[in-house]
Amino acid sequence: MSGKPSDAELRARLTPEQYHVTQEQGTERAFTGQHYRNEQSGKYLCVVCGEQLFSSAAKYDSGSGWPSFWEPVAAQKVEARADRAHGMIRTEVRCANCGAHLGHVFDDGPKPTGQRFCINSASLDFKPEPTK
Ligand SMILES: [Zn+2]
């Protein structure tokens, strides 16, 4: 948890929704997130600490209403842990650097990984970059 800013700083810097999602394990409403329909090339960074977590190269439209990726930029960038909230057993995904809640990962994703990282837009910052 080295990269985690103080709670006061986060409350000042993040929008109420970003704070709720990343610090209180919230979930934004489906189809409302700013990155859901983003098809630009670029990097997706943790909104809390700025680590790059995902890339547009692994983003796809799962139809779920949340940005979906079949893999993070590196496995060690995210931390998965069991989440038993709401009467379901799901796998929660957090930023490995600062512990921010990102979303959940499911086993119904596309090839090559078969995984679906279902991530809240509110947990991510997008940095466009030219395609090479
Ligand atoms: Zn982070």
99-127 residue pLDDT tens: 999 999 999 999 999 999 999 999 999 99
- Candidate list 46, 49, 98, 118, residue with the active-site label: 118
Tokens 């995210």 found at:
78
List the structure tokens of 49.
Answer: 């600490």
> What is the Å distance from ligand 1's center to 22 Cα?
9
Whole-model pTM: value is: 0.93
Helices (H), the chain: 7-13, 16-24
Least confident of 6-10, 19-23, 69-73, 86-90: 86-90
Q: Give me the percent of the chain exceeding a pLDDT of 90.
A: 92
Assess whether 95 carries a catalytic annotation: no
Report residue 131's pLDDT band, with 50, 70 and 90 as the boundaries: low
DSSP 3-state of 80? strand
Would you say residue 130 has pLDDT above 80? Answer: no
> What is the Å distance from ligand 1's center to 98 Cα?
4
Helices (H), 32-73: none
Q: How many whole angstroms separate alpha carbon 11 and alpha carbon 48?
A: 11
Mean pLDDT of the chain: 95
Would you say residue 132 has pLDDT above 70? Answer: no
